[in-house]
Amino acid sequence: MHELSLSNGMLEIIEKRAVEDGFGRVLAVRLEVGVLSCVERAALSFCFESVTRGTVAEGARLEILDVAGEAWCWDCEAVVPLTRRGEACEGCGGYRMKLRDGEQIRIKELEVA
């Protein structure tokens, strides 16, 4: 379950920011998660709640913002939306595409006190 290691990584970032910026509590974490990132959102929420116990982020709301998938089609030279990996280009039906967006997992914003 890589959601546990993702949650631990998020907590490391949050704790580092708490020291650098001098806040004592995190109320909410807004996280951008690409639809092509292979992250199970429910598992991520569960793991985040588990790893944050006893930390500055204990009890923080985890708000997951979906980021759409997008690719460049080499055949028709168009930017096309993707909802899953291995999908054909909606313009030409080709499969030679370079992923441009939708794989990321990024802390977008922290609400702190």
Backbone angles phi, psi at 21, to 5 degrees: -100, -5
Q: Angle 104-40-85 (CA atoms, 0-180°, nearest 5)?
A: 60
- The CATH code of the domain that includes 12 is 3.30.2320.80
CB-CB contact of 70 with 84 (8 Å) = no
Closest CA to 50 of 33, 37, 62: 62
What residue has token string 């030409």? Answer: 92
Number of structural domains found in the chain = 1
User: What domain range is 89 assigned to?
Assistant: 2-112
Q: Give the pLDDT of the chain (113 residues) as one tens digit per residue.
A: 699 999 999 999 999 999 999 999 999 999 999 999 999 999 999 999 999 999 999 999 999 999 999 999 999 999 999 999 999 999 999 999 999 999 999 999 999 99
Q: Count, in order, helices (H) and strands (E) of the chain.
A: 2, 6
